[in-house]
């Protein structure tokens, strides 16, 4: 059973919707990376529907942080997991590889198209000549898939970067959908809050006394999925594998002793830190579904992008806004966050994966 973050009265999915013009969805990343804009939200100074905001650029992030702050980033690398293929019977197919299944087998989970025309046991042929066997349906729109040689080698030979479906322009170099600090491969989507950092900005922050540590969470299917059902608590979060290195655990313990701040870079980092704080587990599978209200135990500030309507990520950020406001309920926090979104839209900010950023403190 997925882990819930609260036992609050039921919230309606429709109440976490908002109008977004198509033109506001970023199709290409900012150049350079740190030229993205930065909207700063002060939770303590905000009131319901009246967010306390300041406008900046990501390059000036150091002006908004303090010496002693600890940036915690998700260092997962995106797999070239979109695999165009041909069916044995003829016709195009595609597999989006999501993750290896946590059942001890060598099978992977993936989205297969056209799923209804592909039977269990069918073979798909990739441009590299490699083949993939399609297995059973898993009940959530995904299928099992099996490779005949090392999956990483197959994806390197025949895979494409799995850009989200709302990005229709495909001309950006693949590395622009990776963070500059990406290391272990395993994600089906980028931890996009980190896309704004450059090596130069990271060095400048270090010179200011801002420290950095990393966790790993391999981003999976939920990045692409809207909330399901009428009520927020009807949605099911998929499990994602995470790890918190010893060095990061020590850095966080030092921050707590010195009463400095943990600044999470992205919602994936928040989920890892909150999961680890709850269970004192350095690695494992997280299905923590953070909805308002949530008693945050590990994160003091958050760098994040602007999120899709009716998404679990929007709920997580709402919960974080509520946690920093005086006596606010979930709907007052929602009003504050969506008020910030409205101001961002009016000021021409760009939304979603290649869009601009927020600092919520």
Q: Match 């592909």 to its residue by tokens.
A: 118
Question: Contacts for 248-253 with beta carbons within 8 Å, 24 or more apart?
Answer: 248/72, 248/213, 248/214, 248/215, 249/276, 249/282, 251/70, 251/211, 251/213, 252/70, 252/72, 252/213, 252/298
User: Is the per-residue pLDDT at 4 higher than 80?
Assistant: no
User: Is the per-residue pLDDT at 1 higher than 60?
Assistant: no
CATH of domain 82-158: 2.40.10.240
Q: Is the dihedral of CA 231, 233, 40, 166 positive or negative?
A: negative
Q: Is the dihedral of CA 132, 135, 137, 140 positive or negative?
A: negative
Which pLDDT score, from 0 to 100, does residue 199 have? 98
Number of residues assigned to the chain = 361
Is residue 16 exposed (0-12), middle (13-18) or buried (19+ Cβ within 10 Å)? Answer: buried
Q: Say which CATH topology domain 13-78+171-360 has.
A: QueA-like (3.40.1780)
Which pLDDT score, from 0 to 100, does residue 2 have? 62
Query: What is the reported pTM?
Result: 0.94
Q: How far apart are CA 270 and CA 290, in angstroms?
A: 9
In the sheet where 357-360 sits, what is the strand order? 50-57, 37-47, 357-360, 301-305, 262-265, 70-74, 211-217, 240-243, 283-286
- Arithmetic mean of pLDDT, 30-54: 97
Q: Is the dihedral of CA 60, 53, 5, 250 positive or negative?
A: positive
Cβ neighbours of residue 230 closer than 8 Å, sequence gap 6 or more: 12, 13, 14
pLDDT in tens, 56-86: 999 999 999 999 999 999 999 999 999 999 9
Pairing status of strand 211-217 against strand 262-265: unpaired
Domain boundaries, the chain: 13-78+171-360, 82-158
Which pLDDT score, from 0 to 100, does residue 228 have? 85
Query: 240 is written with which tokens?
Result: 């994602």
- Arithmetic mean of pLDDT, 287-296: 95
Which pLDDT score, from 0 to 100, does residue 317 have? 98
């Amino acid at each position: 059973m997925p882990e819930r973050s609260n036992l609050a009265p039921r919230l309606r999915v429709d109440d976490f919707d908002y109008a977004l013009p198509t033109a506001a969805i970023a199709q290409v990343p900012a150049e350079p990376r740190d030229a993205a804009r930065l909207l700063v939200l002060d939770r303590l100074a905000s009131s319901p529907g009246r967010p306390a905001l300041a406008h900046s650029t990501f390059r000036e992030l150091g002006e908004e942080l303090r010496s002693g702050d600890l940036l915690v980033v998700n260092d997962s690398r995106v797999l070239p997991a979109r695999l165009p293929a041909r069916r044995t019977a003829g016709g195009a197919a595609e597999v989006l590889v999501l993750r290896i299944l946590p059942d001890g087998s060598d099978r992977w989970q993936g989205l297969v198209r056209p799923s209804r025309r592909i039977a269990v046991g069918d073979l798909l042929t990739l441009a590299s000549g490699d083949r993939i066997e399609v297995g059973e349906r898993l009940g959530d729109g995904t299928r099992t898939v099996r490779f005949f040689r090392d999956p990483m080698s197959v994806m390197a030979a025949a895979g494409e970067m799995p850009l989200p479906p709302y990005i229709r322009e495909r001309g950006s170099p693949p590395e622009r959908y990776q963070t500059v600090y990406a290391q272990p491969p395993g994600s089906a989507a980028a931890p996009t809050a980190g896309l704004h950092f450059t090596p130069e900005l990271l060095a400048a922050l270090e010179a200011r006394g801002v420290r950095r540590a990393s966790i790993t969470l391999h981003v999976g299917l939920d990045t692409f999925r809207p909330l399901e059902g009428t009520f927020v608590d009807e949605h099911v979060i998929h499990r994602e594998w995470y790890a918190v290195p010893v060095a990061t655990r020590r850095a966080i313990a030092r921050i707590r002793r010195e009463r400095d701040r943990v600044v999470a870079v992205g919602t994936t980092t928040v989920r890892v830190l909150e999961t680890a704080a709850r269970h004192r587990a350095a690695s494992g599978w997280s299905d923590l579904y953070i909805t308002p209200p949530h008693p945050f135990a590990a994160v003091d500030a958050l760098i994040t992008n602007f999120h899709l309507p009716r998404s679990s990520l929007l709920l997580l950020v709402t919960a974080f806004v509520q946690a920093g406001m005086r006596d606010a309920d979930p709907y007052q926090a929602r009003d504050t966050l969506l008020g910030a979104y409205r101001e961002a839209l009016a000021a021409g900010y760009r939304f979603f994966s290649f869009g601009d950023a927020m600092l919520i403190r």
